[in-house]
Structure 1
Amino acid sequence: MSLPEPRDPSGPYRISVVCLGNICRSPMAEKVLTGELDRAGLSGAVEVASSGTGGWHIGSGMDSRAAALLRAHGYPTDHAARRFDPAHLAEHDLILAMDHANLDDLRRLARERADIGDRLRLFRTFAPDAGPSPEVPDPYYGGEHGFTTVLDMVHAAAKGLTAELAARYGSAL
């Protein structure tokens, strides 16, 4: 599946990563994807943001387990949780949900929007080894191992997405 066309060809390609509370999966994906884009020389050409479909963590920092794991791998951990706003549908070129429940929530928000097309997808569909169920499970109620698994999944998807962006745009963005 190809990447959606940018909404503004003269601006950066804008990606939003969405999970439930915006304190575990989506901020991890935001930081890892941003790091991959930096390494590929695409940091000025692609912008990444994250948010959650639920609003109970608005303004909170990243989950301490997610932050510790990211720090251990050299990623920044600055973050303030925010809720996905329906206005984000028109502001982003690609909106990536962590699981089917998040994707369903986003599709409900977008049901009146003919301009969304294939802009809503699962983040892990960009991982080469995603398998038949390309979801990133929520590690919140589990232990440290769940966060490590999520980081591995997010890293693979971020590398795959970065490769697609680099192949499509290179330095032309």
Structure 2
Amino acid sequence: MAASSTKSVLFVCLGNICRSPIAEAVFRKMATDAGVVDKWVIDSGATSDWNIGSLPDARGQACLRKHGIETSHRARQVTKDDFMSFQYILCMDESNLSDLNRKAKSVNDYRAKIELLGSYDPQKQLIIKDPYYGSDEDFEKVYEQCVRCCGAFLEANS
């Protein structure tokens, strides 16, 4: 468990290869640029077990690189421990939210606040749609939503 002055956030989507690793990488860069990355534990995970160990989708990595961001994340599934060790679990859509709330019920006295990342969007776009079956433009839209939401989340927790 991290020191009490450390804050923690876990970004979650279905497979942990598109949306959540983009959100994790964007937030890590923002926290680094703000000089507060050492005050945060930042990670991402999946509600499913489909892609465990996989690198993020190549289109997502290309989108991040285009914006000067690198990631070496490997997909992992959310564990029961995550509900105890993370303060915030921020997910991308209603399906992720219901999966996480169902999993959380099996953890006694969990401490994580489970929310949609989009609830922080100044443009009020609550859902961050899965770009997996989409185009490069869909990955760019996810990136832009993550920038807005992560910026507002970081500001709210600074």
Q: What are the residue-to-residue correspondences of 1:44-55 with 2, within 5 Å?
A: 44-55=38-49
Q: Hey, what does 1:111 align to over in structure 2?
A: 105
Look up the equivalent residue of 1:138 and give its one-letter code: D
1:89–1:110 contact (8 Å) kept in structure 2: yes
Query: Does structure 1 residue 69 correspond to structure 2 residue 63?
Result: yes
State the superposition RMSD in angstroms: 1.7
Deviation digits for residues 134-154 of structure 1 (CA, Å, limit 9, x no counterpart)? 011000001111101100100
Instruction: Give the partner amino acid of 1:159.
Output: G
Consecutive unaligned residues in structure 1, runs of 5 or more? 1-6, 167-173
Match of 2:82 among 68, 71, 88: 88
Say whether residues 1:150 and 2:142 are aligned partners. yes
Per-residue deviation, residues 20-63 of structure 1 (Å, max 9, x unmatched): 00000000000000111112221111111000011111101010
| Aligned structure 1 segments of 4 or more residues deviating by more than 2 angstroms | 7-11, 112-118
Indicate the SS of the match to 1:27.
Answer: helix
**Matching residue within 161, 165, 168 for 2:157:** 165
**C-alpha distance after superposition, 1:69-121 (max 9, x if no partner):** 10110101212111111211001011111111001000001124463467000
TM superposition shift of 1:10? 2.6
5+ residue gaps, structure 2, are none
Q: TM-score, normalised by structure 2?
A: 0.93
- The normalised TM-score by structure 1 is 0.86
**1:120 equivalent among 114, 129, 137:** 114
Q: What's 2:9 paired with?
A: 15
